[in-house]
Structure 1
Amino acid sequence: MFSSLLKKQMMRAGFLLLVSSFLLPFSAKAAPIEKVDVSLSAVGGDLPPAVEKRVISSISSIGNRVLVGKEESLFSLNSSAYNKVLADIINRVVIGYVVSDLTVSYGRDTAFHVTLQPVGQIIRHVDTEIDYGGLTPEAARYVAADTADVPALMDNLLIGLPVDSVGWAESVSQSAGRDLLSQILPEFQANFEVESGENTKVKIYLIPQGKIVRSSRLTFEKTTIPRLLMLRAAEETETALSALRGLPVDFVTRHSEKISSDMNDILKKDSFIEKYGIATDTSLVSGETAELRVNALTDHWVIRTEVWLDAGRDGDKNTAVEGMLGHYIGKHSTVFGEARFYPGPMDWNVYGGFSHQFGSFMDLGYKYDFVDNANHIFGNVPIGNKFSLRYDRDFKKRENEFGFSYKIHNYITLEYVYNDEDGKWLRLIANL
């Protein structure tokens, strides 16, 4: 529509230009127009910035097509006629407004100043509704926090506009509204439905873009108490974490600190964690599987319980229950007591020892077996979040033992063990 209207008006302008060129002496030609600048004002108040930008763009396009490259003197000598033609073109293109005043300063750099008068009904109220699609209520709350200002922005965009102008130029409300939403929610596509009138209704449909969160998991990285004691807190947090499904991965990445903090708040409110003052901290790793990594630490004590089941090992110590109680000395050192019970045939090992943590790189320590009267040195090297390598040296038996473990789950670890005396086997460890 814009193109056909503009062509008709160009023909009128071209006819005037042709007539003017015959009326002017050949020697009167001046330099051609190279540039058109447009300024805009509106009767009764300013236009919304997005609408003003669109109107200026349309008027600039008209000015460039009609004037640029033509001799400015042709227009200067017939300014009244040309101004009338230009005003008529603008009236046909900018729907919902009429030109109440137009001044043009012709020259190499030609300047337009246009004053517009709204016509017809004016939008006086905007009711904005946002549809979050298939997102869970919990996920929608995170998106709603980003879109809290959208109704006010739509008010600023539309209130005061002529009702007819809402459908102008591919719909001001939709194109300008999408520009606003793309800045606020770049991870979503926004589709608009607009019922224009004095009371205009805008419904915005949000559609996730890019990769989507499809699953989630909670991973304990470091704990100083038995994990079973935090089972209830972990399950509640995992349920909240699963609500992220359906959100764009980029959105979760942008809000990872907030989401991580909210998950940590759920952990801290658990009655057991709250009662014993266990310090928790979390970090969220976004992806198609959103992973919440959790540390749960006490100030002074370290408590660990495990159950072992060995497969492929000769002997009668293929099942064991181990418990450890330690106390921090400073930030990186621990003194501990450890007991290991073998149920069939019944046997025991009881240890006392000391360990030191060298950052996140390695733990080294010494322990003494009070049952076998044996000295041990040991070390553990974590490899990422899933793997670790351990070493134990029994000086009495002169045996070395190596273990390479993979954490299958928060509560289950699989370890490949090699011992100088007993050979190699697999060990399934329940991290209680």
Structure 2
Amino acid sequence: MKFRRIFVLLPVCVFLFGFHAANAAIANDDNIAVDVVSAGPLPTMIKNRMQASVSVIAGQLMDGRSMDEIDTGKVQYQTIIKDVFDKILIGYTVSDVFISSVNETVNVKVSLLPWNDTIKDVDVQVATDGVSQEIAALALNDIQGLHELFSENLCGLPVDAVDWSNGVLKHSLNDFMEKRLPEFRADFEMRTGEVTGVTVTIYPRMPVVRNIDLAMRSDTVPNLYLLQERSFFQTQTNILLGVPVAFVNRHKDYFAKRLGEALDRRTSFSLLAIHTQVEIRPDEQTMINSYSDTAKYNINIEGWADFGRANNGESMTYKLHAGSFITPKNEFFTQIFFKPQEADLDWAAGYYYHFDNRWRVGGRYFFDNNYWSIDTQRIFNRKWSARFDYAPSQDFWEGAVRYNVHDFVSLEYVWQQSDHKEDKWLRLIGHF
């Protein structure tokens, strides 16, 4: 009989225990939901900040309390939330606070009335500090849409609430800059009114370009020809001084094109139809290399100093090569050789066929000694190359391997046979 009573009462006890447990739910940060609404427009970022403030107040009042306790004291909680939030709020009046509990969640709804004067439009002006106008234009292009950021956060807001929103606007601006223009930081000032004026000033972040190393190179015109434009090119590259390194790196294609085109527009370059490619390696010590070449001509001047040459001892020779491309692969040229120690002048004329920019073959006729030579050259990279010259009628051949030490200096190991006699020596070559 006793067991039968226990089995009858057990379902009732389980039901009563479950009912009590459901109503014993405790309020905490996870189950207190706040919604702030306004009779007028309420910008999203401002609304989020208001809701966060109300959540703090509601948490202080109701955290750790059961749903029954909250239902019992909600009128008092509503009054306290209304009074406290109304005191810290500027530009709005708290018209009503309503608390309800549904499914173990406490809902707090706060209704606001905006004060009379509200912001209807925003005028955003952006200024730059510490950079040139051209860099400023690039930076401003990266942050298009800044007006919309302030408009979304300010329009509809009471004029008196603007100061209260500064923290939200600063946070929004920092996020915007980090995504669009991370190499600069931004500050802003506001002049409140129905049309609120905003002045945003952007500043470069460290590290910035402090020095520029410049190298001008060409395979088809003499270094002396490039040097006449070095001073001009240096002034053009100075645009990068003081600019954030990361910004230069992100826009280096633009800067490379802009610098190359500036050189190509110079009269000396356009005269020979020279086209320039620019390579930029951004850093605090930025390296800029220009490669200026023409598809119409092949002109170079070299000075040779031979050391260890058995037949003629040490000798010096100046060589001028002046070639013209009839087609991209066919070059006709003349060469002039001058030996100052012998006051001797010789010249040759010939033809080269260029398979590509690394391999060529052709021949020359030397007018002083009246003979032909067959020539070939192979360029392996910017440092290493090799050549071979053969004159059948003179029983003469010469091979050489060249190493480019610098844009202006090369070393060549020469191996020659003439009249059945071999000779080997080292040649120092200056590129003028």
TM-score, normalised to structure 1's length?
Answer: 0.74
Aligned equivalents of 1:324 and 1:77: distance in 2? 102
Q: 2:428 maps to which residue?
A: 426
**Once the 2 structures are TM-superposed, how far is the Cα of residue 323 of structure 1 from its aligned partner?**
1.4
**Once the 2 structures are TM-superposed, how far is the Cα of residue 339 of structure 1 from its aligned partner?**
0.8
Q: Do structure 1's residue 73 and structure 2's residue 68 form an aligned pair? A: yes
Three-state SS of the structure 2 residue aligned to 1:400 is strand
Given candidates 42, 49, 52, the residue that maps to 1:54 is: 49
- Residues 303, 324 of structure 1: 8 Å contact kept: yes
Where in structure 2 are the equivalents of 1:157-172 lying within 5 Å? Answer: 157-168=153-164, 171-172=167-168
- Residues 284, 292 of structure 1: 8 Å contact kept: yes
Q: 2:40 maps to which residue?
A: 44
Aligned equivalents of 2:288 and 2:326: distance in 1? 26
Taking a change above 3 Å as real, the CA distance of residues 401 and 93 of structure 1, as seen in their structure-2 partners, is: same
Where in structure 2 are the equivalents of 1:68-217 lying within 5 Å? Answer: 68-107=63-102, 108-119=104-115, 121-123=117-119, 126=122, 128-168=124-164, 171-196=167-192, 200-216=196-212
Given candidates 5, 9, 26, the residue that maps to 1:32 is: 26
Percent identity of paired positions between Structure 1 and Structure 2? 21
Q: 1:327 maps to which residue?
A: 325
- Residues 280, 296 of structure 1: 8 Å contact kept: yes
- The AA in structure 1 aligned to 2:323 is L
**Once the 2 structures are TM-superposed, how far is the Cα of residue 216 of structure 1 from its aligned partner?**
3.5
Three-state SS of the structure 2 residue aligned to 1:251 is helix
Q: Do structure 1's residue 403 and structure 2's residue 398 form an aligned pair? A: no
- Residues 379, 392 of structure 1: 8 Å contact kept: yes
- Residues 353, 367 of structure 1: 8 Å contact kept: yes
Aligned equivalents of 2:373 and 2:21: distance in 1? 114
Taking a change above 3 Å as real, the CA distance of residues 227 and 79 of structure 1, as seen in their structure-2 partners, is: same
Given candidates 319, 337, 340, the residue that maps to 1:341 is: 337
Aligned equivalents of 1:66 and 1:352: distance in 2? 98
Taking a change above 3 Å as real, the CA distance of residues 158 and 312 of structure 1, as seen in their structure-2 partners, is: farther
- Residues 363, 372 of structure 2: 8 Å contact kept: no
Aligned equivalents of 1:397 and 1:28: distance in 2? 108
Deviations 1:369-389 (A, max 9, x none): 545544343222224xxxx11
Where in structure 2 are the equivalents of 1:261-280 lying within 5 Å? Answer: 261-271=257-267, 278-280=274-276
- The AA in structure 1 aligned to 2:25 is A
Q: 1:350 maps to which residue?
A: 348
Deviations 1:310-337 (A, max 9, x none): 386765642413213143756xx44443
Taking a change above 3 Å as real, the CA distance of residues 283 and 404 of structure 1, as seen in their structure-2 partners, is: closer
Aligned equivalents of 1:274 and 1:152: distance in 2? 45
Taking a change above 3 Å as real, the CA distance of residues 223 and 69 of structure 1, as seen in their structure-2 partners, is: farther
**Once the 2 structures are TM-superposed, how far is the Cα of residue 187 of structure 1 from its aligned partner?**
0.7
- The AA in structure 2 aligned to 1:86 is I
Say which is worse superposed, 221-230 or 103-112, in terms of deviation.
221-230
Deviations 1:105-139 (A, max 9, x none): 42423334433323375445655444422222332
Say which is worse superposed, 74-83 or 149-158, in terms of deviation.
149-158
Give unmatched runs, 5+ long, in structure 2. 1-18, 416-422
**Once the 2 structures are TM-superposed, how far is the Cα of residue 248 of structure 1 from its aligned partner?**
0.6
